[in-house]
Chains A and B, each alone.
Chain A
C-alpha cells in the first residue's frame, strides 16, 4: 500500500467557484486553502448550502475551480489531460455519493467491476476481486441483483465496494450516511474507519452526521463558502447529540 508518509495527498490553494445562473452569480466557494495528509480521516462539516458538495467536487477533480489550484499528490489537476484525469478518477480516488449513483441497469457485481474493466483487468481477475469486495461489504450472495432490488443501505454498500475496486489511495464520500438509517450508517462509518486504519487509505467525507466526528482525525467546518475553523479530534468535546 501507500507509504504512510506525511505528504499532502490533496492541497487546495485559493480555490473559488462561481456558478452563473442567468444574471445571478452565486459564489459557492470564496477562497479555500488547506491540505490533507496521507492516511488522514477528514470530515468536512457544514450546513447545507455552505459549499460542502462543491468543495467535495473540487477535491475529487470532478469539477474545475473558477480560480485557484487543486493539487492531488502535489500535481496540479488543471495541468492533467483527459487520459490522466480519467486515470486519476479510475485508480487514485474512489467516490461514494449520498445518492449512491449506481448504474441502475447493471447488477451489483457489474457495478463493482466496472472500474476494474476500465483499469484493464481481465475477466477472471475482476470477477474474483469483485466478489471479494462484495463479500467484504456483506453482499456476496446478492451479486446478481440490480440496484432497484436492493435497499438503500445495500446500495450504499455496493457503492462502497465499487469505490474500493482499484484499491484507491483516497476515498471521497459525499454524505455517505445521508440516505441511510442509523444502524446502516454506523456500519458504513465503521467500514470506512477500518479502511483508514488497516490499509492507510485517506478518507475525506463531506457530512453533517455527528457519528462521523467520533472517527475523524480532523474536522473542517465550512460556512458560507469559507473555512470557518479546523479542529483536531482530541480537541473536540462530544456530548450526546451535541457538538461544541
Chain B
C-alpha cells in the first residue's frame, strides 16, 4: 500500500519553485532583511578578496617607488602575494563567523514565525520533505541574491578605496577575471550560509505534528 500512497501525495518541482518564489515576493521586506544580513557579510569578504586581487594585479606593473608606497601604506606581502598571510585569513574567517550567527538568527526568526503556515501545509497533506524543500529553495534564492548584491558592493567599495589610495593604476590594471571568480565564490558562500541558517529550523518545523505547529505562536 505504501508505494501507491507515495505516488498519490506529490509536490512537483515546478510547484516548489512557484510556491517558494511567491512566498518570498509577498514577504519582500522580511526576506530583504535576511538577504541584507547575508549581503553585508558577503560584502566584507568580497571587499577583502577583491582588494587583494587588485593589489596583486597592480603590483607587477608599477615602479619600485610606487611599490614602496603600497607597502608603507599598511599592506603586507607574503611570498610575493597580498592577502595570504594568516592575519588576512583570520580576518575573513572571523567576519564570516560573526555573519553566520546573524544569518542563522534571521532565518530562525523567519521560519519560526511561519510555524502556523507549516502546520496548515501539513494538515492539507504535505509531507515533511515538501516543507523542507520549499524552505531550502527560499534559502538558496536569498543566498544567491544576497551574494550577488554583497559581492558587487564589496568589489565596488574596494575598487573605490584603492583608486583613492593608489590613483588610476587601480582601475587601469583592474583584474576582471579575478573579480568574476570572487563573485562566484561569494555566491557559493552566501548560498551555503543561508542554507546553514534555514535548514535546522525548517527540519524542526517540518517534523512537528500539525497540531503542535498550529499551536505555536
Q: How large is the interface on A (under 10, 10 to 19, 20 to 34, 35 or more residues)?
A: 20 to 34
A122 to chain B, nearest CB (A): 10
B112 to chain A, nearest CB (A): 16
Give chain B residues whose Cβ lies under 8 Å from the Cβ of A89.
122-125, 210
Partner of B125, one of A81, A91, A146: A91
Q: Which residue of A lies closest to B207 (CB)?
A: A82
Give chain B residues whose Cβ lies under 8 Å from the Cβ of A146.
26
* Interface 9-mer from B5-13, B53-61, B140-148, B155-163: B5-13
Interface positions of A from 93 to 117, Cβ below 8 Å from B: 95, 97, 101-106, 114-115, 117
Give chain A residues whose Cβ lies under 8 Å from the Cβ of B15.
117
Contact with A along B88-108 (1 / 0, CB 8 A): 000000000000000000000
Interface positions of B from 1 to 51, Cβ below 8 Å from A: 1-2, 5-12, 15, 22-23, 26-27
User: What is the count of residue pairs linking A and B with beta-carbon distances less than 8 angstroms?
Assistant: 89
Pair B5/A87 contact, Cβ less than 8 Å = yes
* Interface 9-mer from A8-16, A57-65, A202-210, A234-242: A57-65
Pair A63/B210 contact, Cβ less than 8 Å = yes
Docked Cα-Cα span, A90 to B7, in Å, equals 13
Say yes or no: is B211 at the interface (Cβ < 8 Å to chain A): yes
Binding site for A on B (CB under 8 A): 1-2, 5-12, 15, 22-23, 26-27, 116-117, 119-128, 130, 209-212, 214
Sample of 16 A–B contacts (CB below 8 Å): A62-B210, A63-B209, A81-B2, A83-B2, A86-B125, A86-B127, A87-B5, A101-B120, A105-B117, A106-B22, A117-B10, A117-B12, A118-B125, A146-B26, A162-B124, A166-B125
